[in-house]
Amino acid sequence: MEKQRLDKIIASTGRWSRREVKELARRGLVMVDGLAIRGVEEKFDPAVSEITVNGETLCYRRYTWLMLNKPAGYLSATEDGRGKTVLDLLPQELRRLELFPVGRLDKDTEGLLLLTNDGVLAHNLLSPKRHVDKVYYARTAGRLTEEDCRAFAQGLLLNDGLACRPAGLELLSVGEESEVLVTLREGKFHQVKRMLAARGAPVLYLERVQMGNLPLDRALPRGSFRFLTEEEIAELRSLV
């Protein structure tokens, strides 16, 4: 890996801003291979050198992966003149990392949204060819039946011409309103809403609850995020 400025390496973890790194280094709390380094502009190879900050060994990652529990009201975009984006939910030091959402959730959709700066893995996870399931919980108006499940499994042809690939529909509860889980391997514009509307069950509420084998972390309050663990990133890689 090529050498990079020490403050850039440390700030890329999202834990400290460059200004904080400079201050910690001034106090002798930034060490590289056992030596206190006071000049944060010095360059090192993070794959080779052991960097410690305030006694903690840095776990350097080339890419950052976050799981966000998206609330309604935020756009899945990096910038948009029309309103708040999911990046507005991140602290300043993480916004510098050029993160982007892995796929889009509608403004009113909640739940699991991954953010990363790893363009290749993100692209592969979204490709229908890679067969990565995305699971959505939906509450709908109208009564869905086993016949709707069979129609989803066969692949719906929507009135607007969209031919959907075979998808999963699991009924959780049915009545005046229904609760279902929808599993898709593609992600066309408003796809879950369009598919359910085509079966006479317009969506009242939508939440993404799983991507591949990564479930939404229920310990994450709506609107907050956490870093993916090394194991979770490895699992995502193994899917593609």
The conformation of residue 3, written as its DSSP 8-state character, comes to -
Tokens of 24: 């910690």
Tokens of 41: 């502009």
Is residue 191 part of the contact set for ligand URA (CB under 6 A)? yes
Instruction: Quote the CA–CA distance of 72 and 87 in Å, as a whole number.
Output: 14
Is residue 140 part of the contact set for ligand URA (CB under 6 A)? no
Distances (CA, A) of 190 to 26, 48, 162, 181, 220: 52, 45, 11, 16, 25
Under 8 Å CB-to-CB from 236, ≥6 apart: which residues?
Answer: 65, 121, 125, 212, 214, 228
80 catalytic per annotation: no
Judged by beta carbon, residue 22 or residue 193, the one nearer ligand URA is: 193
Is residue 193 part of the contact set for ligand URA (CB under 6 A)? yes
Tokens of 168: 């999963």
Interacting residue with ligand URA among 190, 224, 235, 240 (CB under 6 A): 190
Q: Which stretch binds ligand URA (CB under 6 A): 28-36, 105-113, 146-154, 169-177?
A: 105-113
Q: Helix, strand or coil for residue 196?
A: helix
Judged by beta carbon, residue 8 or residue 185, the one nearer ligand URA is: 185
Q: Which stretch binds ligand URA (CB under 6 A): 23-31, 151-159, 160-168, 190-198?
A: 190-198
CB of 7 to ligand URA, least distance (A): 38
Is residue 109 part of the contact set for ligand URA (CB under 6 A)? yes
Interacting residue with ligand URA among 6, 121, 192, 236 (CB under 6 A): 192
CB of 86 to ligand URA, least distance (A): 12
- DSSP string of 4-24? EEHHHHHHTTSSS-HHHHHHH
Of these residues, 7, 106, 108, 160, which one is catalytic?
A: 106
Interacting residue with ligand URA among 30, 40, 53, 105 (CB under 6 A): 105
Identify each DSSP E strand in 25-116 by its residue range: 30-32, 35-36, 43-44, 51-53, 56-57, 65-70, 100-101, 110-116
Q: Per DSSP, what are the bridge partners of residue 115?
A: 66, 101
Q: Helix, strand or coil for residue 225?
A: strand
Size of the site for ligand URA (CB under 6 A): 8
Interacting residue with ligand URA among 30, 164, 206, 216 (CB under 6 A): 206
Is residue 167 part of the contact set for ligand URA (CB under 6 A)? no
Which residues of the shown chain bind ligand URA in the complex (CB under 6 A)? Answer: 105-106, 109, 190-193, 206
